Structure formats: structure tokens, C-alpha cells
Amino acid sequence: MKKNKIFLCSICNINSGTCLEDCKFCSQSVRYKADIERFKQKDADLILEEAKVARDNGALGFCLVTADKGLHDKTLQFVCDTAKMLTKEVPELRLIACNGTASVEQLLTLKEAGIKAYNHNLETSRDFYPQICTTHPWDERFETCKNVNEAGLVLISGGIFGLGESQEDRVSMLASLQELNPTSVPINFYHHNEALELSPNSLTTDEALGLIKLTRETLADADRIMVAGGRELIFGERQNEIFEYGANSIVIGNYLTTSGRVMSKDLEMLKSLNLSVAKNVK
């Protein structure tokens, strides 16, 4: 993708706050009783409405996210039904699924339903991972990413910075991502919720910009380095600087349980930087 073309993606939380896992960074775990909206399945009309808003604001990617460790039959059917509906109603969008652990067979089923890419983040290094999650192993995450490649879907995989990890852990995570050769690498910055046990993110804006640069340099073959969750929190009035350090993709609109800024503000920012919105992607 050309450097002056920015890929916009929007997240749709189609199942919220029902996860039984203990990921310490995630307010969607029922264990922490965070004050968030919880529901089993979002109404199809609401999903379609969000998809149209995303499309009308320049998003090319539209990600269907479920809160669970992985895909089971009921969730798989729900995501497939949603994907088929969106393919028919909003064909301009490139559909992404983010549904946790998945087998090659499940991923092929999603692909057949119209899903083009699958997002499954490593979150952090293999060594640090037991400090933030004990209910499923890091190796399971890595295996799902390999499954995505085997199924012939576009792999989207990244992680979270600011969980208490060391710089060595960050370098290790990026090296593991390099092995997987993802097309898109979402960089998230931990956004603290008072219900969670982790300490608030202590990264400075300059440190965060340095991590974007490090990600771009390490994953030079990736088409997109996407700045996702925590962008508004970490960068504030300096969000325009992320593109100078290697980012060429952002999430617009709200995140899973936190609010983003108004989509029009991001479009104004891109215009002011003489950056245009990508209209297609390989």
C-alpha cells in the first residue's frame, strides 16, 4: 500500500462481555465485573447500521468481534450469517472476523461465508504471557495464526503495549509476529479500566511512537501497521504523528468497550496531513 494511502477499519462488537477467560487486560471477562455493556448477540439491524456508517466514513475493513476464547458452533453460525448478510447489503466492505481460537476447518467455513481476513493477536511475548493470562496458553494463539495462513485467509495479528512488559518482551513479540508474516499488524495500547488488576499504562507518547517505528522496522514486509485501541488515550493531540513513524492504518469509531473519537475528526486529520483514504487493498 502506498504510504500516502491510509487503510481505515471499523470494529463491530457483535457479542460483548461474556468471556470466561482471565486475560488481565480485558474488561470483557466476566471475572472482573467491569461496568460495560454485555449481550449475547447484537441485532442484525444494528450491525448493518454500524457497517453502513463505517462505509460512509471511508472504512474499508469491518471487523466482527466476539467475546469468547474461541469459536464454537453457535458463534460460528452467527458470524457466518452476519457475514452473508453484510456481503449482500454492504459489498464495499472487506469483512474481518475476530473470534478467538479457531481451527483450519472453522476458518474455511468463515471464508466460504465471505470473511476475507482473520484477526488474532499474540498480545505479548511468549515469556510474559503467563503474567496476563492463565486460562489458555500463548502457543494456542500462535497456532491459530498459523491456521489462518493455512486456510488462505489474510492474517491480521499484533499485540498490546503497556501491560507491564519489558522492552525485551516487546522485541520478542514482534519477532514471533515476523515468523507468522501477517499482512496487517494492529498495535494496541493498554487502556485501563478500574475493574482490572493491571496498573494504568505508563508509556509516554514518545515511547509509544518509538514502538510504532520498531514495529514497522521489524515487520517491514507487512502491508499495514495499524494503530488501534488506546490511540486517543496515548497520543492525544499528537495523533497526527503516528504516520511519521510508520503507521498507515487506523481504527475509526469506537473500540470494543471504550470510545474512540468522532469519525469525522479522523478524516479531518488525514486531510490536513494530505493523506488519502485507501479505496482498495490486495
pLDDT in tens, 151-210: 999 999 999 999 999 999 999 999 999 999 999 999 999 886 666 677 788 899 999 999
pLDDT at 26 over 70: no
Residue 99 lies in a domain: yes
Q: How confident is the model at residue 1 (pLDDT cuts 50, 70, 90)?
A: very low
Residue 168 lies in a domain: yes
**Rounded CA separation 92/114 (Å):** 12
Mean pLDDT for the stretch of residues 86-96: 97
**Rounded CA separation 260/57 (Å):** 14
* Closest C-alpha among 100, 116, 144 to residue 256: 100
Q: CATH number for the domain including 48? A: 3.20.20.70
User: Is pTM beyond 0.75 here?
Assistant: yes
189's CB contacts (< 8 A; 6+ apart) are 160, 161, 162, 201, 203, 208, 229, 230, 231, 233, 234
With both helix axes pointing from N to C terminus, report the angle between 73-89 and 44-56 in degrees, rounded to the nearest 10.
50
- Cell numbers representing residue 281 in the block: 487493498
- DSSP 8-state secondary structure symbol assigned to residue 197: S
Residue 201 lies in a domain: yes
Contact, 223 vs 184, CB < 8 A? yes
**Rounded CA separation 239/266 (Å):** 9
pLDDT at 36 over 80: no
Mean pLDDT for the stretch of residues 34-53: 82
Structural domain of 265: 5-277
107 alpha carbon, distance to own chain's centre: 17
Mean pLDDT for the stretch of residues 64-73: 88
Residue 259 lies in a domain: yes
**Rounded CA separation 239/75 (Å):** 35
Q: Domain total for the chain? A: 1
Taking the CB of residue 273, how many other CB atoms lie within 10 A of it?
A: 14
Residue 154 lies in a domain: yes
pLDDT at 139 over 80: yes
Predicted pLDDT of residue 38: 65
Residue 282 lies in a domain: no
Number of residues that make up the chain: 282
Radius of gyration of the chain, Cα coordinates, nearest whole angstrom: 17
**Rounded CA separation 209/260 (Å):** 19
**Angle value at C-alpha 236, between 231 and 238, nearest 5 degrees:** 95
**Angle value at C-alpha 215, between 210 and 219, nearest 5 degrees:** 155
3-state secondary structure of 85: helix
Q: 7 to each of 55, 93, 94, 245, 255, how far by Cα in Å? A: 12, 12, 11, 16, 16
Sign of the C-alpha dihedral, residues 8, 13, 19, 23?
positive
